[in-house]
Structure 1
Amino acid sequence: MKFITCSALVALIASSSAFAQTVPQPGDDANAADSLIVVTGTRDRSRTQFDTLAPVDVLSRDAVRSSVSGDLSDTLAQLLPSFNVQRLPAADGQAFVRPATLRGLSADQTLVLVNGKRYHRSALLGTRGAQAPDLAGIPSMAIKRIEVLRDGASAQYGSDAIAGVVNIILDDTAGMEAFGQVSKYYKGDGNEYQTGARGGIALGDRGAIVVTGGYDHSEATSRTRQRPDALAFQAANPGLVVPNPVQRWGQPDEERIRGAIDAHYAFADAATLYLFGTAQQGEGVTDFNWRNPAGTSTVYNPSSAFPGFSFRSVYPVGFTPRFGTTFSDYQGDGGLRGELSDRFSYDLSAAVGRSRIAYTLNESLNASLGPASPTSFYLGQLEQHEFNLNADFVYRLPVGTAHPVNVAFGAERRRETYEVSAGDPASYAIGAGAATGLAPNSNGFPGFSPSLAGVFDQTSYAGYVDLEWQPVETVTLGAAGRYEDFSAFGDTFNYKLSARFEPIKGIAARGTYSTGFRAPTPAQLNTSQTTQGLDTTTLQVFNQGRLSPSDPLAIALGAKPLTPETSKTGTAGLTFQTHFGLTGSVDAYQIDVDNRFSQSQTFAVPATFANPQRFTAVSYFTNDFDTRT
């Protein structure tokens, strides 16, 4: 739990009727929310939160900024009961790119949009295979509102939209504001320093340019006591000074710089040029477990390979490897949109996104290298690239009823590329000391070897149709279908049906049924994560770890080509809206997900298998199980 010790806010707002200095009346916020046009889960630009065909939560700018945390994942977890985010203090990259989930499903089964456009996924491939976007890369100060669709939407948006869709709408309001804030935990540690500024200028009455920047530094926390084995080592070695505690257990030390831009200019009703994007640069450090000199034989045992040398001369009181991460993200979207008539509109856009994560390890060693071992290592780099092209159209087709049929259709091309770069040779080396029992590789986290490095890609093409029609005032119907073809595994078709019935003004029933999917990514399809060692009896190198499901050895052990996760989602609910400002909804849902993605059990490799790299134990990603939520 955090509390703010100091905060400041300065705002200079450009003259606009939206910022008139009037005293808000009770119910103003509720009425404003009820009349707000919702753009997520529908392509009919007349829908409000009350009359959408599926449940949509709308989080205002004030609600988003009410959070003490600078991490948008934490903010959403505080505001949405169905949204959860984990803190994994002793993990690798997951300590910094934290997995966030909606409705208890996998982190990459929720689609993230920015201004209605797909946001790139992080380069981090989680322990069990999830590869999701890093929401912490988007500055909260740049956000106008967030819309969260709690329904399957693969028929409308494509892969990943199984649990729902999070659509982050950037603030395009002219004006200037800045803030600063200092907070800490009730224990007195974990100070967080935040500052940011947003500036926007109006381009006459045709557009605006808004730029946001922010800085956030979260200091480490520690909720640990001294380890019993550290106390015992100190008692046995009174002449040494053992740190107390020898390792931290809590959130890591983390620093981020974030930025965003949102610009648009209308040349005419038929042509508005727009550009928006976000970027972040950051770094963080977390502790691994303490290595006890009295109990870490693979480091501290004498070795005939290095006569007269002991790592006690380097780390006399043991060592705690410090895992460092440097990460950066950017995404830029640009396009042209407009209305060619009062019935027909278009939106043509392109987007490029990149996530890069580099790992380092300090206060460690490669014991097998003996005195030649460095104490700091560069472990390698992960990189995710995405390039999207979209063409979206809406035609309001008159059919002789009170309301026309809203016909949305379009096409999309996406290309994903994943790259693994090797680390320092010392981070994965097997030195001479390995033959005498000293551990190879950098201690705590081995670097990526050249055998793990590579570039992998996947291309997909999609087309969709999304219909909404209100044949009479009390009934609204919806239907959507999407066909998508992937270079890695083939094609898929998904559909969605929805309906809303309002027999009494202000009280409505709604329901949806949809199919969905999540396509495996290039990283999940192609990468391996293995470590190597030396058999001290045979003096032969061996390997173990996770193989690509397409690896011949993995196939021999039962691996099959990864296929998309598929889902069937049904929702039903009631909504109400009163004349005195009270609104609400009650919704039930069921989500069946088949062929869910996970990591297999670890298999011992039989001696009879063809095994030129001498793998002893392996696992692989697989379509493992089915669930119902």
Structure 2
Amino acid sequence: MTFRRNQIASAVALCASQALFSAHAQNANPGITAANAAADADATQAVIVTGTRSSNRTQFDTLAPVDVFTREEIAAVASDDLNDVLAQLVPSYVVQRLPMADGQVFVRPATLRGLSPDQTLVLVNGRRFHRSALLGARGAQAPDLAQIPTSAIKRIEVLRDGASAQYGSDAIAGVINIILDDTIGTELTARYGQYSEGDGKSYELRAKHGFAVGDGGRIVLFAEAAKSDPTSRTRQRPDAIAFQAAHPELNVPNPVQRWGQPELQSQRAGYNATFEPGGDVQLYSYGLYSHSDGTSDFNWRNPDTSTSVYKPAAIFPGWDVRNVYPLGFSPQYTNRQHDFQVLAGARGRFNPALGWDVSASYGSNAIDYGLHHSLNASLGPASPTAFYLGRLTQQEKLVNASLNYEWNVAALAQPVNVAMGAELRNETYKVRAGDAASYAVGPGAAAGLDANANGAPGFSDRQAGKWDQDSYAAYLDVEAPLTAQFTVGAAVRYEDFSAFGSTVNGKLSARFAVTPDVAVRGSYSTGFRAPTPAQLNTNSTGQGLDTKTLLVFTSGRLANNDPLAVALGAKPLKPEESKNASLGVTWKTAVGLSGSLDVYHIKLTDRFSTSASFAVPAGVANPLRYTSINYFTNDFDTTTRGVDVVANYLRRVGDGKLNLTAAFNYNKTRVDGGSTGVATNDSQRTIFEDRLPRQKATVSATYDTAAWGLLARVRHYGAWTDSTGNATGDIFQRFGAMHFLDLAASYKVTSKQTLRFGVDNVLGRYPDEAVFQASRGLIYSRNAPYDTDGRSLYLDYTVKF
């Protein structure tokens, strides 16, 4: 009955918010002048810098859809993780929690328009942000937005259109451009939060200080520290209940393992600076640094059924794992991450029409993995119970030079904007081996005892190494206002990679103003995503738990150039390629109502994935004791179709300002061909087509006065399908749509001090239980596209100087 009541309450809340939208639109203060209304409307049309190299484009007159989120909107989301912020603000952006999923617990996969995490390009101040060192689900290697401090952000621009011809590899789904804060002043914020179930307490401190330097220069310094306790939404495993009954003399923990968010501590700092040395030259630079430590649980090892761990072996007389872990054990997985990015550049003008810009950047992400409360059973009594598993490192160097020319053509009322440039990039990937004991195949393996650190094998000396890839690019980008109503754009980019050769991509776009307040826009482009050095060269070892047998399986993923992978059919990797088409309409009015509707079609070929799993052929050396092996492959083709609808109503009401926003995305992906599209791999087809909600929407209302600020937001997620991920015989479960209501209120204690209180998921909504994984004690699916920990509350205090 509780779930049913929550469904009804959420439906009522959604209807109420829509009614609020309508009522305020109809009952706005009639005393507001048209001039004031127009000023409010113009406030939403700030100049943007993403998706265009023209200097005067706004959200309304850009040739492609761009969302802009302000510092205030970012701060209104109760999370220090930028992924969570974007998931609440961007309709087609989905991020998963993924408790107990190795490195993805800490580097969470996020998707835009339902595409792969590494098919969205991330920029900081208009320059490429480096990737994470982690290869996630199906080998995706994307930037980790959680490493960017939210306190450092002035605004975020999200381009919802293919842009490889403008920015290069990865910009298939779109571009996220994070603009760092450059305002002068000091701001301190302290925040506390927790879940209504009493766990997941979080603490956060943020500081920002901006000051002027010389004539026109400024430096902004920022730092933040956060700590969050773990959550647990877990029941005792049925096999643990049976183990307790069979051994009443033991005191088995309840639960024996935890499903929930990890324990996590993080510190982030950085700067954003500009200097005016004189003349028409400006120097600029920014730096970002982040460090985090996290711990997560793994699956429980049952002494009565985990025979490959607890099995007595004659080679180790008198040694019994029950003496080490009499209650079984749940390995503890640790993640220590260091992230760094620094950029420096200069820009200026040769003359009023011709500008130049040169910059260089270096980015690095390094992750050290560890495992505690475990053992390598094949080593017997010589096994440690804690292991260093090794380090992954991604490094990127980038040099960029560009020119921007405003070409005055006599036949045109406005200049043609011509941009051109060149770019050099180097990517390096490193794997450092872990402790020898973490990947050793000890003498007990011959007796059937598990090798490797149990839970997460370390990187072996066979897997360690260093690989790099160089690329260079040249591009041309033109925007031409042919008439006062009609603007066209064209871009072409040539890019050459040392690993696989060259590629050329192009983009055509146009905008026609039907009236001064209504315009139609569209684009067609080709795009690509190049395989990374990590995807091209590395091997890895992983462990999983079968939900049917509750036994651990060990799988190996081989590099495509590995002789065994080649013998099994592996082919050299090549870039994923796309064809993007979009068509939309955008509007604004003098009464504060603005919005856009855009439909899109994305055809992807040679999509990147993992092959089917193969048994290790008889007679082939298997030193790491794999039960199965696979490799990366350009496996299949897909078509993604969707629509984005965004509407905003901004108006003065009474003594304050009302802002109503509605955003909706419908997104459907279909597998067209490849091994994923045939019956032999039907599980992967289901996952790609149904693993994410096809609908996602947000309706929000804010009302701000001189002293008070109020926020109400309803989030909607459509139905989706999850799978167990078993080695064989995947089990699927369909989960229904979910609605969440968030409320917040802020009060200005003084002109410099603000107190804010908020509740996310006010109604305490939980999704259907994941009955297909109940054997592991899990209550709610770990792959859910939303938080499954229930109602959360937060309080923060901000002071400005």
TM-score higher than 0.5: yes
Aligned to 1:274: 284
Of 118, 124, 128, which residue of structure 1 is paired with 2:138?
A: 128
What is aligned with 2:437? Answer: 426
The answer on whether the counterparts of 1:269 and 1:339 sit within 8 Å (CA) in structure 2 is: no
Q: Does 1:144 align with 2:154?
A: yes
Pair 1:55-2:65 in alignment: yes
Distance 1:466 1:339, change over 3 A: same
Partners of 1:467 and 1:581 in 2: how far apart?
32
Cα distance in 1, alignment partners of residues 251 and 39 from structure 2: 63
Q: Could you say what secondary structure the match of 1:579 adopts?
A: coil
**Alpha-carbon distance between aligned partners in 2 of 1:571 and 1:473, rounded to the nearest angstrom:** 22
Pairing partner for 1:324 from 313, 322, 334: 334
Report the Cα offset of residue 615 of structure 1. Answer: 7.1
Q: Aligned ranges for residues 169-318 of structure 1 at < 5 Å?
A: 169-318=179-328
Percent identity between the aligned chains? 59
Is the partner of 1:603 in helix, strand or coil? coil
Q: Deviations over 1:564-608 (max 9, x none)?
A: 000000010011111122111111111111100000001234447
Whether the 8 Å contact between 2:445 and 2:451 is mirrored in structure 1 is: yes
- Please name the residue that 1:546 is paired with: 557
Structure 1 stretch 224-233 or stretch 213-222: which is displaced more?
A: 224-233
Alpha-carbon distance between aligned partners in 2 of 1:176 and 1:312, rounded to the nearest angstrom: 58
Return the match for 1:488 from 496, 499, 502: 499
Q: How far apart are 1:269 and its partner, in Å?
A: 4.4
Question: What is the CA-CA distance between 1:617 and the residue it aligns to?
Answer: 3.6
Distance of 1:308 and 1:509 partners within structure 2: 79
Q: Is the 8 A contact 1:544 1:615 kept in 2?
A: yes
Contact 1:413 1:462 in 2 (8 A): yes
Amino acid at match of 1:519: A
Query: For structure 1, which segment, 396-405 or 485-494, has the greater mean C-alpha deviation from structure 2 after superposition?
Result: 396-405
2:418 to 398, 407, 413: 407
1:307 Cα shift? 1.1
Tell me the CA shift for residue 186 of structure 1: 2.2
Instruction: Give the corresponding residue for 2:655.
Output: none
Higher-RCO chain (CA-CA 8 Å, sequence separation at least 6): 2
Write the letter of the residue equivalent to 1:588: V
The residue type paired with residue 42 of structure 1 is T
C-alpha separation between the residues in 1 aligned to 2:91 and 2:359?
A: 34
Q: 1:427 aligns to what SS in structure 2?
A: helix
Confirm whether residue 474 of structure 1 aligns to residue 502 of structure 2.
no
User: Does the 8 Å contact 1:206/1:267 carry over to 2?
Assistant: no
SS at 1:234 equivalent: helix
Deviation per residue, 1:145-190 (Å, 9 max, x gap): 0000000000000000000000000000010000001111122211
Structure 1 CA distance, aligned partners of 2:215 and 2:59? Answer: 28
Tell me which amino acid in the other structure corresponds to 2:500: F
Going from structure 1 to structure 2, the CA distance change for 1:228 and 1:275 (only over 3 Å counts) comes to: same
| SS state at 2:44 partner | helix
CA contact (8 A) 1:269 1:340 kept: no
- Residues 78 and 453 of structure 1: is their aligned pair in 2 closer, same or farther, counting only changes over 3 Å? same
Measure the CA separation in 1 of the matches of 2:371 and 2:39. 53
Distance in 2 between the 1:153 and 1:454 partners? 33
- Equivalent position to 2:452, from 441, 452, 455: 441
Mean alpha-carbon deviation: is it higher for 481-490 or for 291-300?
A: 291-300
Give the structure 2 partner of residue 20 of structure 1: none
For 1:516, the equivalent position in structure 2 comes to 527
Query: Against the structure 1 CA distance between its residues 604 and 416, is the aligned structure 2 distance closer, same or farther, given a 3 Å change threshold?
Result: same
- Alignment of 1:498 onto 2:520: no
CA drift of 1:509 comes to 0.4
Question: In 2, Cα distance between the equivalents of 1:585 and 1:129?
Answer: 35
> In 2, distance between residues paired with 1:416 and 1:226?
45
Amino acid at match of 2:218: A
TM-score, scaled to structure 1: 0.92
1:69 to 67, 73, 79: 79
One-letter amino acid of the structure 2 residue matched with residue 96 of structure 1? F
- SS of 2:77's equivalent? coil
Deviates more, 1:51-60 or 1:254-263: 254-263
Residue of structure 1 in register with 2:389 after alignment: 379
Q: Is the 8 A contact 2:486 2:512 kept in 1?
A: yes
In the TM superposition, what is the alpha-carbon distance from 1:296 to its structure 2 partner?
1.1
Aligned partners of 1:368 and 1:432 also within 8 Å? yes
Distance 1:432 1:612 in 2: 12
- C-alpha displacement of 1:368: 1.2
Structure 1 position 576 matched with structure 2 position 591:
no
Give per-residue Cα distances to partners, 1:443-502, cap 9 Å, x unaligned: 001111100001010000000000001121111110000000000000000000000000
Q: Distance in 1 between matches of 2:517 and 2:539?
A: 55
Change (3 A) 1:148 1:531: closer
Aligned pair 1:33/2:12, yes or no? Answer: no
- Aligned partner of residue 472 in structure 1, secondary structure: coil
The one-letter code matched in structure 2 to 1:78 is Q
Shift of 1:238: 2.0
Q: Whole-Å Cα distance in 1 between the matches of residues 292 and 344 of structure 2?
A: 25
**Which of the numbers 345, 368, 385 marks the counterpart of 2:378?**
368
Residues in 2 aligned to 1:27 and 1:74: alpha-carbon distance in whole angstroms = 33
Output the aligned Cα RMSD.
1.9
Q: Which residue of 2 aligns with 1:12?
A: none
Give the C-alpha shift of residue 554 in structure 1. Answer: 1.1
> Aligned in 2, Cα 1:575/1:86: closer, same or farther, shift over 3 Å?
same
State the alpha-carbon separation in 2 of the partners of residues 75 and 615 from structure 1: 40
Q: CA deviation at 1:312?
A: 1.1
Counterpart of 1:352 in structure 2 is 362
CA contact (8 A) 1:138 1:260 kept: no
Matching residue of 2:539? 528
The 1:287/1:67 distance shift into structure 2, 3 A limit, reads same
Unaligned runs of 5+ residues in structure 1 are 2-23, 533-542
Separation in 1 of the partners of 2:44 and 2:241?
Answer: 58
Alpha-carbon contact 2:451-2:625 (below 8 Å) kept: no
Amino acid at match of 1:464: Y
Q: Which secondary structure state, in structure 2, belongs to the residue aligned with residue 74 of structure 1?
A: helix
Deviations 1:264-304 (A, max 9, x none): 01123421111102110001010001111111111212111
Q: Secondary structure at the match of 1:238?
A: coil
Is 1:340 the counterpart of 2:350? The answer is yes
Q: Decide which moves more: 68-77 or 617-626.
A: 617-626
Q: SS of the counterpart of 1:587?
A: strand
In structure 1, C-alpha distance between the alignment counterparts of 2:350 and 2:79, rounded to whole Å: 44
Of residues 468, 483, 489 in structure 2, which corresponds to 1:457?
468
- Alpha carbons of structure 1 residues 67 and 442: separation in structure 2 relative to 1, 3 Å: same
- TM-score between the two structures when normalised by the length of structure 2: 0.73
For 1:391, the equivalent position in structure 2 comes to 401
Q: For residues 612 and 370 of structure 1, do their structure 2 counterparts lie closer, same or farther at Cα, with a shift above 3 Å needed?
A: closer
1:372 counterpart letter in structure 2: A
Q: Deviations over 1:93-123 (max 9, x none)?
A: 1000001110000000000000000000000
Task: Give how far 1:230 is off.
Answer: 1.3
Specify the SS of the correspondent of 1:210. Answer: strand
| Contact 2:82-2:150 at 8 Å conserved across structures | yes
Give the drift of 1:618.
2.2
